[in-house]
A and B are shown apart, each in its own frame.
Chain A
Amino acid sequence: MMSTDREAILARVSAALAPLPQRAALPDWERELVRMRQMQGVTDLAATFCTRLKGVNGTPLQSAAELADLLAKNNWTRGYCDPALLPALGASLAGVQIETTYDRTRVDDYAFGITRATAAIAETGTVVLTDADTSSRLAALAPWAHIVVLKRGDIFPDIPAALAALPTDPNVIWVTGPSKTADVEGILIEGVHGPGVQAVLLVD
Chain B
Amino acid sequence: MASQPIDQAAATLPADKRASVYQSTKATHEKRTKLLFDQFNDPDLLRRRAGEIKQHVIENLDTLLPAVEAKLKANGAQVHWASTGDDACAAVLRIMQARGAKKMVKAKTMVSEEIELAHYLEKHGIEALETDLGEFIVQIDQDHPSHIVRPIIHKNRREIATSFEREGLGAYNDDPETITRRARQFLRHKYLQADVGLTGANFVSVESGRLVLVTNEGNSRFSLAAPKVHIALVGIEKLVPRDRDLGVLLNLLARSATAQQLTVYTEFISGPKHATQPDGPEEMHVIFVDNGRTDVLASECREILRCIRCGACLNVCPIYRQASGHAYRSVYPGPVGAVLSPLLAGKKFPELADLPKASSLCGACNEVCPVNIPIPDLLLRLREKGKREGAPLAAVGTPPMGAWALMASQPTAWKAALFGGKALNYLPTKLIPVPALRAWEEKRALPAWRGGEFRKWMKQRRKS
A and B: bona fide binding partners: yes
**Chain A residues with a Cβ under 8 A of chain B:** 2-3, 5-6, 8-10, 12-17, 20, 23-27, 29, 31-38, 56, 101-102, 104-105, 107, 123-124, 126, 130-132, 134-138, 141-142, 159-160, 163-164, 166, 168-187, 189, 191-195
Q: Give the docked Cα–Cα distance between A166 and B298 (Å).
A: 35
Which residue of A130, A170, A194 has the most chain B CB atoms within 10 A of its CB atom?
A170
Q: Given the complex, which residues of B lie within 8 Å of A5, measured CB to CB?
A: 80-83, 87
B150 contacts A164, C-beta separation under 8 Å: no
Report whether B247 and A34 are in contact in the complex, using a CB–CB cutoff of 8 Å: yes
> In the complex, which of the residues A2, A17, A142, A195 contacts B91, with contact meaning CB atoms closer than 8 Å?
A2
Residues from chain B with Cβ under 8 Å of A182 in the complex: 150, 258
- CB <8 Å contact, B218 and A195: yes
Q: Would B221 and A194 count as touching, CB distance under 8 A?
A: yes
Task: Say whether A137 contacts B261, CB under 8 Å.
Answer: no
Q: Mark B324-350, 1 if CB is under 8 A from A, else 0.
A: 000000000000000000000000000
In-complex Cβ contact of B264 among A15, A130, A177 (8 A): A177
Is there contact, CB below 8 Å, between B265 and A175? yes
Complex CA gap A15/B86 in Å reads 23
Q: Can you give 27 A-B contacts (C-beta < 8 A)? A: A9-B290, A15-B298, A16-B302, A24-B52, A25-B56, A27-B53, A130-B274, A131-B273, A131-B277, A137-B221, A137-B279, A166-B268, A171-B267, A171-B270, A172-B268, A174-B266, A174-B267, A176-B260, A176-B261, A176-B262, A183-B137, A185-B20, A186-B23, A187-B176, A193-B131, A193-B218, A193-B219
User: Is B179 a contact partner of A184 (Cβ separation < 8 A)?
Assistant: yes
Distance between Cα atoms of A109 and B277 in the complex (Å) = 21
A186 to B260, CA, bound (A): 14
- CA gap between A160 and B244 in the complex, in Å: 7
Question: Interface-forming stretch among B58-66, B391-399, B451-459?
Answer: B58-66
Asked if A163 meets B243 with Cβ closer than 8 Å, knowing A10-B65, A37-B39, A174-B265, the reply is: yes
Assess the B40–A34 pair: CB atoms within 8 A: yes
Answer yes or no: B359 CB below 8 A from chain A CBs: no
Residue of B with least CB distance to A195: B218
What residues make up the interface of B, taking CB atoms closer than 8 Å to A?
20, 23-24, 27-28, 38-42, 45-46, 49, 52-53, 55-56, 59-62, 65-66, 75-76, 80-83, 87, 91, 131-134, 137, 150-153, 156-157, 160, 176-177, 179-181, 183-184, 187-189, 191-192, 208, 210, 216-219, 221-222, 224-226, 236, 241, 243-244, 246-248, 250-251, 258, 260-274, 276-280, 288, 290, 294, 297-298, 302
A31 CA to B267 CA in the complex, in Å?
22
Q: Which residues of B contact A16 (CB under 8 A)?
A: 294, 297-298, 302
What's the Cα separation between A172 and B82 when bound, in Å?
Answer: 27
Please name 4 further chain A to chain B contacts, defined as beta carbons within 8 Å, in addition to the given A17-B297, A176-B266, A183-B152, sorted by A numbering: A26-B52, A181-B133, A183-B137, A185-B176
A196 to B206, CA, bound (A): 34
How far is B295's CA from A16's CA once the two chains are assembled, in angstroms? 8
With a CB–CB cut-off of 8 A, which chain B residues contact A132? 274, 276
CB atoms of B273 and A170 under 8 A apart: yes
Q: Are the C-beta atoms of B294 and A37 separated by less than 8 Å? A: no
Q: Are B150 and A24 in contact (CB under 8 A)?
A: no
Question: Cβ of B269 and Cβ of A171 under 8 Å apart?
Answer: yes
Closest CB of chain B to A81's CB: distance in Å? 15
Query: Separation in Å of the B12 CB from the closest CB of chain A?
Result: 22
Residue of A nearest to B77 (CB): A170
Q: Is the CB of B264 within 8 A of A179?
A: yes
Residues of B close to A174: CB separation below 8 A? 262, 265-268
Give Cα A160–Cα B269 distance, bound, in whole angstroms: 18
Q: Is B76 a contact of A186 with CB atoms below 8 Å?
A: no
Tell me if B264 and A159 are in contact (CB < 8 A): no
Q: How far does the alpha carbon of A194 sit from the alpha carbon of B270 in the complex, in Å?
A: 21
State in angstroms the CA–CA spacing of A40 and B202 once bound together. 29
* Given known A142-B188, A193-B217, contact A34–B294 (CB-CB < 8 A): no
B81 near A26: Cβ-Cβ < 8 Å = no
- Tell me the smallest distance from the CB of A153 to a CB of chain B, in Å: 22
Considering only CB atoms, which chain B residue lies closest to A105 in the complex?
B192
Counting from the closest, the 8 A-B pairs by CB-CB distance are A194-B218, A131-B274, A16-B298, A12-B294, A137-B225, A179-B218, A183-B134, A192-B217
Do the beta carbons of A17 and B62 come within 8 Å of each other?
Answer: yes
Q: Which residues of A contact B181 (CB under 8 A)?
A: 191
Cβ A36 vs Cβ B40 within 8 A: yes
Shortest distance from the beta carbon of B370 to any chain A beta carbon, whole Å:
13
Nearest-neighbour CB distance to chain B for A167, whole angstroms, equals 9
Contacts of B267 in A (CB 8 A): 171-174
Also in contact, A9 and B83, with CB within 8 A (given A27-B49, A183-B150, A192-B218) = yes
Once the chains are docked, how many angstroms separate the CA of A24 from the CA of B269? Answer: 28
Known A5-B82, A10-B66, A36-B40; contact A170-B160, beta-carbon cutoff 8 A: no
| Contact of A176 with B264 at beta-carbon distance under 8 Å, contacts A166-B243, A170-B272, A193-B222 already known | yes
A192 touching B219 in the complex, CB below 8 Å, given contacts A34-B248, A171-B224: yes
In Å, the complex CA distance between A8 and B82 comes to 9
Closest residue to A170 on the B side, CB-wise?
B271
How far, in angstroms, from A160 to B249 measured CA to CA in the complex? 11
- In the complex, the answer to whether A179 meets B216 with C-beta atoms within 8 Å is yes
